[in-house]
Amino acid sequence: MTMTELEQRLLALELTVAQLKRQPSPVPDTPDEAEDKEMAAEEELIPGVEYPIVLDVPPYEVLSFPGRLIAVEEGRQEFTLSPEEWASLRLEEDDE
């Protein structure tokens, strides 16, 4: 896309926005009509076009499962940190 084409598209977009701002916005009569219009707008998405989205956090859910403890074993020692390595983490400074 050349710079001239980009400027032409930008000008056309600015004119369209100006026209839309001059039009009175319709006020829905009931909340159901507003929801229907929102759903219709969502269905009119154009494939391949980037749209701003707001991600929603899924509801927090706690799942409980029955279980039975069958063994307690000492952990592997090859993954432990030396006193020097613990000191290099500076965990005490973060707590203050």
Please tell me the distance from the alpha carbon of residue 13 to that of residue 5, in angstroms, as a whole number.
12
Whether residue 64 lies inside any domain: the answer is: no
Question: What pLDDT score does 66 carry?
Answer: 92
Provide the pLDDT for residue 80. 79
pLDDT in tens, 25-48: 766 555 566 566 666 555 677 778
Domain annotation covers residue 92: no
Number of domains in the chain: 1
12 within some domain: yes
Note the pLDDT of residue 37.
60
Kindly give the parts of the chain with pLDDT less than 70.
Answer: 26-43, 92-96
Burial annotation 20-52 (CB, 10 A radius, 16+ → b, else e): eeeeeeeeeeeeeeeeeeeeeeeeeeeeeeeee
Tell me if 6 is assigned to some domain.
yes
